[in-house]
Amino acid sequence: MRKILGWAIFFLATLIIFANQAQSREPVEIFTDIDKVKFVSGQNIVLKADIVFYQQVNPFWEELAKINFSPFKLEKAVLGERKMFDRKKDLSRDFRKAIFLLSLPVSDCGFYAIPSFSLNYSYFKDKNEIKGTAKSKAVKAEKVPIL
């Protein structure tokens, strides 16, 4: 009975967290994730970013190809199609997936942080242009030796 109650509480807490993320009122939000936390020399890292934004907002997409991920090197940046995320009567939100292929020049094994990045945007409200910046969170990765 305790296990069932524990799982039920965990499930409800997870639902509440995701509901709060989906109902955020920021004009642009960036959620990042990597495909593998551990990598070896010569292996590329795939950083995935889900960018959620309101339809009226214009993110500056060309900035994504110029991001400095130091100490990692940006090999390639791919931007996915614009898709529907959330449709409401007053405000609609869309999203695009950005995929970054990163490599790490010759270095020691250990933990590395893929730095956060920002994306500028603008939108009009009451005939005034409002500019802002959305920022992602840093992601941890570990370089391990080849055994």
**Hey, which residues does 5 pair with through a beta bridge?**
none
Number of CB atoms found within 10 A of residue 12's CB? 10
What DSSP string describes 76-111? EEEE---EEEEE-SS-EEEEEEEEEEEE--S--SEE
Predicted TM-score of the model (pTM): 0.76
What is the Cα gyration radius of the chain?
A: 19
Give tens-digit pLDDT for 5-45: 555 555 554 545 455 445 557 899 999 999 888 888 788 89
With CA atoms as reference, report the closest residue to 109 among 133, 144, 76.
144
Give tens-digit pLDDT for 101-146: 999 887 788 888 999 999 999 999 888 999 999 999 999 988 888 7
Higher pLDDT: 19 or 86? It is: 86
